[in-house]
Amino acid sequence: MKRAEGLDATKLVLITDAAGLDTGSVKRGLALMDANQGEVWAKLDAGTEGYYKLVNRTAVRLDRILHNLLVTARARPIIIQSLFLKMHGQPMPPEELAAYCDRLATLVRDGAQIREVHLYTIARPTPEPFCGKLTKAELEAKAATVRAKTGLKVVTFD
């Protein structure tokens, strides 16, 4: 379709929660994307199972997400997108941020090609009244920690 419309130079971006990256149809789609300037932006919002369940409210286990990220990023560079927010007025605890950084570092150590990490915060009201937006300074402080602990390029969006 890109060729038919004269859009050969247009980048295709898959934005994913990473839960389905291990399915056959998605793998076939990724191969097509690889051949057509495709890019994968995959979510990782936590470093521990408990925090992951709290933030993402999913039945999918964090270890599956991490495995899918690793396999996908071994085959092509990816961008990690991470939502950082306040819950009950508090930002991500330092221990959770350390675990998140450890997950990123482990992925890289095990062969994942992480082009950069996008840290962002809430952009609009959420259905959960206990969730809130980080300030620009809070988000930048988290980014500085991620950079220092992982050596990865980190970009923030507030």
Q: Tens digits of per-residue pLDDT, 31-54? A: 989 988 899 999 999 999 999 998
The CATH number of the domain holding residue 22 is: 3.20.20.70
Q: pTM of the entire structure?
A: 0.91
In a domain, 43, yes or no: yes
Number of domains in the chain: 1
In a domain, 4, yes or no: no
In a domain, 3, yes or no: no
Distance CA 48, CA 73 (A): 20
Q: What is the pLDDT of residues 60-116, one digit of tens each?
A: 999 999 999 999 999 999 999 999 999 999 999 999 999 999 999 999 999 999 999
In a domain, 2, yes or no: no
In a domain, 5, yes or no: no
In a domain, 86, yes or no: yes
The 10 Å Cβ neighbour count of residue 153 is 13
Range of the domain at 120: 12-157
